[in-house]
C-alpha cells in the first residue's frame, strides 16, 4: 500500500513510519510547516522539521515539507483569537487535526495517489460490525482518541495509526533499536504558536484588546475583586480567583466579555448536571436523545456517564450527567464513548 506518513519530528510518528516500512508498504514522509511566527514550544518548529527529515533519511524514505502557514492562520490561529475575544476557550490542536492534518493533508494525500494517511497518534482504527471503529490506544496513559474525536466514518478507512497497539515505552524502545534520533526526544506539550515566556497574554494582547473585569459572586452578585483580562479567564478556572487571605476556593462559573465580568462560585456552583453541545460529528451512525454515552471533557480526564437530550438550538444536543460534573468551558471538545464498550469512540462535539 502507498502510505503518506505525517511526520511531526517526534518519536511516535518516526516509529509509525518505521513500522509501515517493516510491513512492506511504500512509505513517504510529509511534514507540515504550520506556524511562521515566534515560538519556542509545541510542535512544528524548524528543529522538528529537521528531525523529521533526518529520520526519513535514516529510514531511506522520501520526505516532503508542505507549507500550510496561510491555512493554519485561517483555520486555527484566527478562530483561536476570535474565540477568546468572545469568552470561549478553544482547542487549537483539535482544530489543527480537523482542518490541517486530517483535512488539507488527507485531501492532498488523496490527490497524490496515496491509499492512506498515517500518523503517530496513540489510538486504534479497527474493523467493527458496521465498518471501521476508532478506539482508545493500548496505552491508556497516552491515549489520544480524545483529540481525534472530530474524525468521521468517511475518513477512517483512509487512516492508519500504527503505534496505537504499543505503549509509549515500547515505541521508544523500538526507536532506540532502530537508532532513530527521536528515540529520547520529549513529547510536545504546548500550543505551537504560544511562546513560553509571554504565554496567552502576550499572544492575544498583540492581536486583540484585553480588558480588566470584575469578579462577582455567582449567588449573591457581590463584588469580590477584579481580573486583569477577562478574555483570558476560562470557565472552571480556579487560579487567580481565590479570596485574599484565604477562604473557600472559587472557580469561574461564567465569563461575560461584553459585560467585563466573571461570575465565580464555590464547589457547588462550579458543577452542573447539564451541558449543551454544538452539532456533534459521528464516527458511525449518529446517536440522539435518549441514548446513553460516556462523555470525556478533557484530553486525559475520566469519561462520565450521561444521557443525550435535545439541545436548545437546531441540530444541537444536550448531555445530562448522572452526577454533578465540573463545568466545561464553551469551546472545549467533548468526546463521546460507548458505555457498553468504553474503548469505542462514538464521536465528539463542542461545548456551547
The residues annotated with a catalytic role in the active site are: 96, 192
The angle, 0 to 180 degrees and rounded to 10, between the axes of the packed helices 11-22 and 168-178 is 70
The alpha carbons of the chain give a radius of gyration, in whole angstroms, of: 21
DSSP 99: I
CA atoms within 13 A on the CB side of 267: 3
Cβ-Cβ contacts under 8 Å for 352 (sequence gap 6 or more): 276, 277, 278, 311, 312, 316, 330
Cα–Cα distance, 319 to 303 (Å, whole number): 13
Cβ(265)–Cβ(219) under 8 Å?
yes
Q: Which of 257, 249, 253, 261 is nearest to 223 (CA)?
A: 261
As given in the structure block, the three cell numbers for residue 283 are 464516527
What are the start-end ranges of the E strands in 8-71?
Answer: 26-33, 63-67
Cβ-Cβ contacts under 8 Å for 226 (sequence gap 6 or more): 212, 213, 214, 215
Cα–Cα distance, 320 to 306 (Å, whole number): 5
Cβ(117)–Cβ(134) under 8 Å?
no
Amino acid at each position: 500500500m502507498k502510505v503518506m506518513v505525517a511526520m511531526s519530528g517526534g518519536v511516535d510518528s518516526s516509529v509509525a513510519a518505521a513500522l509501515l516500512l517493516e510491513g512492506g508498504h511504500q512509505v513517504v514522509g510529509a511534514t507540515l510547516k504550520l506556524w511562521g511566527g515566534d515560538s519556542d514550544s509545541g510542535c512544528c518548529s524548524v528543529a522538528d522539521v529537521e528531525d523529521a527529515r533526518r529520520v526519513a533519511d535514516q529510514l531511506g524514505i522520501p520526505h516532503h515539507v508542505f507549507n500550510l502557514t496561510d491555512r493554519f492562520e485561517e483555520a486555527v490561529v484566527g478562530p483561536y483569537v476570535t474565540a477568546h475575544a468572545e469568552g470561549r476557550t478553544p482547542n487549537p490542536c483539535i482544530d489543527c487535526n480537523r482542518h490541517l492534518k486530517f483535512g488539507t493533508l488527507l485531501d492532498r494525500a488523496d490527490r497524490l495517489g496515496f491509499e492512506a494517511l498515517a500518523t503517530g497518534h496513540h489510538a486504534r482504527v479497527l474493523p467493527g460490525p458496521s465498518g471501521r471503529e476508532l478506539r482508545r490506544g493500548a496505552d491508556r496513559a497516552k491515549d489520544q482518541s480524545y483529540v481525534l474525536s472530530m474524525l468521521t466514518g468517511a475518513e477512517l478507512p483512509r487512516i492508519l495509526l500504527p503505534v496505537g497497539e504499543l505503549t509509549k515505552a515500547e515505541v521508544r524502545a523500538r526507536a532506540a533499536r532502530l537508532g532513530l534520533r527521536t528515540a529520547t526526544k520529549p513529547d510536545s506539550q504546548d500550543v505551537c504558536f504560544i511562546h513560553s515566556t509571554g504565554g496567552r497574554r502576550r499572544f492575544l494582547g498583540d492581536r486583540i484588546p484585553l480588558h480588566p473585569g470584575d469578579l462577582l459572586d455567582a449567588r449573591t452578585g457581590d463584588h469580590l475583586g477584579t481580573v486583569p483580562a477577562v478574555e483570558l479567564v476560562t470557565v472552571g478556572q480556579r487560579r487567580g480567583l481565590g479570596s485574599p487571605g484565604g477562604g473557600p476556593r472559587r472557580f469561574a462559573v461564567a465569563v461575560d466579555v461584553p459585560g467585563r465580568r466573571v461570575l465565580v462560585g464555590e464547589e457547588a456552583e462550579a458543577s452542573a448536571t447539564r451541558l449543551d453541545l454544538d452539532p456533534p460529528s459521528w464516527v458511525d451512525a449518529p446517536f440522539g436523545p435518549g441514548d446513553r454515552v460516556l462523555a470525556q471533557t478533557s484530553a486525559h480526564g475520566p469519561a462520565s456517564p450521561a444521557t443525550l437530550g435535545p439541545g436548545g438550538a437546531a441540530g444541537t444536543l444536550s448531555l445530562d450527567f448522572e452526577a454533578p460534573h465540573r463545568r466545561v468551558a464553551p469551546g472545549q471538545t467533548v468526546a463521546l464513548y460507548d458505555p457498553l464498550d468504553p474503548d469505542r469512540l462514538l464521536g465528539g462535539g463542542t461545548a456551547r
